[in-house]
């Protein structure tokens, strides 16, 4: 017979899985973050999303987060995530969910297309946990941006120094990280 504790754990897992599916997470994220079986998650996914989950590998490389525009979005999300981590007692996956919702809301409010998906946001936090990526302060604007570890102190962010092909001003979509 299932104990009360296992019932509570399971209902929390289902709640998290549903929240993640609604945000568009890949099945692998659900498998990693919940104790629910693959079959159960698959059923839940079809029920909530109304379709089968997409197949294929998760993004494994840190490169995407370091390219110009994705970097600005990733940095915005990570700033929100860091803030929530410091100010709330949420478990990590719940912090990711909450931070991603806030990021999406900010994108909608600013009429900017959100480049970051929940799966990538989750992956980003894992990369930071593993010490493969970090936040570094821009020596120009003082904002904190996703970089590889050990950036030197003269690091300048992609908003202060956009690549030559990008028009300064409108291209940053009004994002500010400080
Ligand atoms: Zn800057």
95 lies in the same domain as 32: no
In the predicted structure, residue 89 carries a pLDDT above the cut 50: yes
Nearest-angstrom CA–CA distance, 151 and 163? 18
27 lies in the same domain as 75: no
Please enumerate in sequence order all residues whose Cβ is within 8 A of that of 34, keeping only pairs 6 or more positions apart, or say none.
13, 14, 16, 17, 41
Q: What is the pLDDT of residue 64?
A: 96
33 lies in the same domain as 87: no
Whether residue 57 lies inside any domain: the answer is no
Mean pLDDT of all residues belonging to the chain: 90
77 lies in the same domain as 125: yes
Nearest-angstrom CA–CA distance, 13 and 43? 14
Whether residue 89 lies inside any domain: the answer is yes
Question: Residue 140 Cα, ligand 1 centroid: separation in angstroms?
Answer: 5
Give the pLDDT mean for 88-111: 96
44 lies in the same domain as 131: no
70 lies in the same domain as 116: yes
Alpha helix (H) residue ranges in the chain: 4-22, 27-33, 38-49, 63-66, 68-87, 92-109, 118-129
The structure tokens 């929100």 sit at 80
Nearest-angstrom CA–CA distance, 106 and 135? 20
68 lies in the same domain as 155: yes
36 lies in the same domain as 89: no
Whether residue 70 lies inside any domain: the answer is yes
The structure tokens 């994705």 sit at 70
90 lies in the same domain as 118: yes
The pTM is what?
Answer: 0.88
Give the pLDDT mean for 126-143: 96
Is residue 147 within 8 A of residue 61, CB to CB? The reply is no
* CA dihedral over 61, 62, 68, 69, signed as positive or negative: positive
Residue 150: which pLDDT band, with cuts at 50, 70 and 90?
confident
Whether residue 55 lies inside any domain: the answer is no
Q: What is the pLDDT of residue 175?
A: 59
What's the number of domains the chain is made of?
A: 2
Question: Residue 147 Cα, ligand 1 centroid: separation in angstroms?
Answer: 12
Binding site for Zn(2+), by residue number, is 138, 141, 157, 160
Whether residue 83 lies inside any domain: the answer is yes
The structure tokens 């946990």 sit at 129
The residue among 1, 51, 2 whose CA lies nearest residue 22 is 51
Give the pLDDT mean for 119-148: 96
125 lies in the same domain as 39: no
Whether residue 56 lies inside any domain: the answer is no
Whether residue 58 lies inside any domain: the answer is no
Residue 66: which pLDDT band, with cuts at 50, 70 and 90?
very high
73 lies in the same domain as 39: no
Binding site, by residue number, is 138, 141, 157, 160
164 lies in the same domain as 142: yes
Question: Residue 4 Cα, ligand 1 centroid: separation in angstroms?
Answer: 51
Nearest-angstrom CA–CA distance, 133 and 120? 13
Whether residue 98 lies inside any domain: the answer is yes
Give the pLDDT mean for 65-87: 96
Question: Residue 120 Cα, ligand 1 centroid: separation in angstroms?
Answer: 23
Give the pLDDT mean for 131-155: 92
Range of the domain at 24: 2-49
Question: Residue 162 Cα, ligand 1 centroid: separation in angstroms?
Answer: 10
Candidate from 47-51, 149-153, 158-162 with smallest mean pLDDT: 149-153
Question: Residue 145 Cα, ligand 1 centroid: separation in angstroms?
Answer: 8
Question: Residue 143 Cα, ligand 1 centroid: separation in angstroms?
Answer: 6
């Amino acid at each position: 017979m299932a104990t009360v504790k296992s019932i509570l754990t399971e209902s929390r897992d289902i709640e998290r899985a549903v929240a993640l599916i609604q945000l568009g997470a890949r099945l692998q994220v659900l498998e990693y973050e919940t104790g629910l079986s693959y079959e159960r998650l698959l059923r839940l996914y079809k029920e909530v999303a109304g379709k089968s989950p997409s197949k294929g590998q998760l993004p494994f490389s840190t490169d995407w987060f370091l390219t110009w525009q994705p970097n600005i979005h990733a940095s915005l999300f990570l700033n929100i995530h860091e803030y929530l981590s410091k100010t709330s007692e949420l478990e990590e996956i719940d912090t990711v969910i909450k931070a991603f919702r806030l990021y999406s809301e900010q994108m909608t409010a600013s009429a900017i297309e959100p480049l970051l998906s929940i799966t990538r946001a989750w992956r980003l936090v894992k990369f930071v946990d593993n010490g493969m990526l970090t936040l570094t302060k821009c020596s120009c604007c003082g904002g904190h941006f996703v970089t590889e570890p050990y950036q030197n102190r003269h690091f300048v962010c992609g908003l202060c120094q956009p690549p030559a092909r990008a028009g300064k001003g409108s291209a940053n979509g009004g994002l500010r990280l400080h």
